[in-house]
Structure 1
């Protein structure tokens, strides 16, 4: 089959700059962490990508070890890109990462020059691309000098195998040091990828959001729905068809406890008052901060893409709403 993208794909999507750079990302980006491994239906993967791009989602985010098995998401994504998106490559932002465990032996994880550049070459082969738009170091590596890791990102860019450098899971202090090195090397470091949602405020406490503003870098947030906890999926407990028990990549069953149910139901009530679903409000809450460039969403079916995009219709919150969300998420509700 031949894929022809919708003529109206750019009509409704919101695009935000990555800090002070010229690069823009859609407010909602598609993550390939789940649902693009070898245990998933290729037809469904393909249709998720079609729906995403048809609705203005121009950013597809990978990592070397997304699967299962390791490399499977890049391999399946590469097949989709090659077979259906060749004519749209210049309209896409494709990102990938290296930093976590990927292959056996001493050179298969971390932040060494050896690992990062070898991993990027492998990723490009799986993705069937000449370059990625953003190449991230996936996690800080205390066993490798920061200068070596940033030097590897610099080589990725200067070699033409990546257009921009990114950092993932760095705190504010580490990001600031890395930014200084990359600035001296004249490398376009534009974005940080970190977990952030109503329940997980780590980037507020560790200085990442503050330093991203200071350094004028973008932030893209993964797990904005707390792996489903910020949806209506678990408001009545764990459904019988839930993947929690069957798939260890997903939530632990003990996450759905009485404390969670109390908080989630209170948040769901507030979302209803705003005319949103809990998921829409959770995504909108992350995007309320202008430092946040985009949220990464996963999808197990195309309709979820459309549901997530609806969050962009209302990302404004009153001071009272924000106060109430804080009170609920910090555990004050019911006390």
Structure 2
């Protein structure tokens, strides 16, 4: 099994089983998702990211079902700190339920989904160390963590000799905040992998949407982004020159930044296109064009 550092791109399952946000069961269903997974594996993707809260366990169950009887990819899941979860054993119990749904004995990487109160990051990281020492997880990490959260986690893990492998955050051409805050720099210094969720900005970077034709609901959040037009124009320019999809250019940019994108896929076509981005190498000129188009104040 390749180490986390060796993976170039992954498959995200946020959409799997989510009926409210993504419309699961309306425009796509289990067979589409199974095809997306199979196409991803066929294309060489060997990391799949999920979470107990995705579809309230449905994403994990589907993934476990689809992977039954075949070689397992690098599996990542997450613990959600509901406010009524206040004991370390709550994490262990939630982890065991995730393992049961995924039909595996251990996870390759387990993340704290959000650093929310009432318990501290340090509290939950101690519980993750227990899971690590019990052999239930092979690696631990955070998600949506700031520099302060990372430092708190590192302080705990260093006492136990356990590395902090990853921090999963939103990162793409329309959201370069990890660069502006210094988070990305700290992660690079500490050897913590940046896993980029929503690397296509919830569809905005696929070329499918414009200000005049925006997606509905929460995904409409980038409609008034000050750099939207410049970014979409730059993506189109590079995509046409390279004869690839805008989405592949957007993913290639994330990869070129040293991050690991985990785009979602609802069907084999999307999965195949996403996986192909791993082999797209942007030229210095193309990267410069995209950097200028997406530049933010302070970045």
> In which range does the TM-score fall when normalised by the shorter chain?
0.7 to 0.9
TM-score, length of structure 1 as denominator length: 0.78
Q: Over alpha carbons, which structure has the higher Rg?
A: 1
Among residues 222, 228, 233, which one is paired with 1:265 in the alignment? 233
How far apart are 1:217 and its partner, in Å? 1.9
Unaligned runs of 5+ in 1: 1-14
TM-score, length of structure 2 as denominator length: 0.86
Cα RMSD of the aligned pairs, angstroms, is 2.6
Q: Which has the higher helix share?
A: 2
How far apart are 1:305 and its partner, in Å? 1.5
Higher relative contact order (CA 8 A, sep 6+): 2
How far apart are 1:215 and its partner, in Å? 0.8
Among residues 266, 276, 282, which one is paired with 1:300 in the alignment? 266
Aligned with 1:190: secondary structure?
strand
Among residues 311, 324, 334, which one is paired with 2:277 in the alignment? 311
How far apart are 1:161 and its partner, in Å? 1.0
Q: Tell me the distance in 2 between the aligned counterparts of 1:256 and 1:164.
A: 37
Among residues 104, 110, 115, which one is paired with 1:129 in the alignment? 104
Is structure 2 residue 167 aligned with structure 1 residue 192? yes
Aligned counterpart, 1:329: 294
**8 Å CA contact retained: 2:168, 2:196:** yes
Aligned counterpart, 2:213: 238
**8 Å CA contact retained: 1:97, 1:136:** yes
Q: Tell me the distance in 1 between the aligned counterparts of 2:194 and 2:80.
A: 18
**Aligned runs of 1:1-335 on 2, under 5 Å?**
18=4, 24-25=6-7, 27-37=8-18, 39=25, 40-67=28-55, 70-82=56-68, 86-89=69-72, 92-101=73-82, 106-107=84-85, 112-235=87-210, 237-238=212-213, 244-245=215-216, 248=217, 250-252=218-220, 255-256=222-223, 260-261=228-229, 263-290=231-258, 292=259, 294-318=260-284, 320-330=285-295
- Aligned residue pairs total 289
What CA deviation, in whole Å up to 9, does each residue of 1:132-158 have, x standing for no partner?
111101111343233321111101111
Aligned with 1:191: secondary structure?
strand
**8 Å CA contact retained: 2:12, 2:49:** yes
**8 Å CA contact retained: 1:263, 1:331:** no
**8 Å CA contact retained: 1:220, 1:296:** yes
How far apart are 1:164 and its partner, in Å? 0.6
Q: Tell me the distance in 2 between the aligned counterparts of 1:128 and 1:323.
A: 44
Aligned with 1:297: secondary structure?
coil
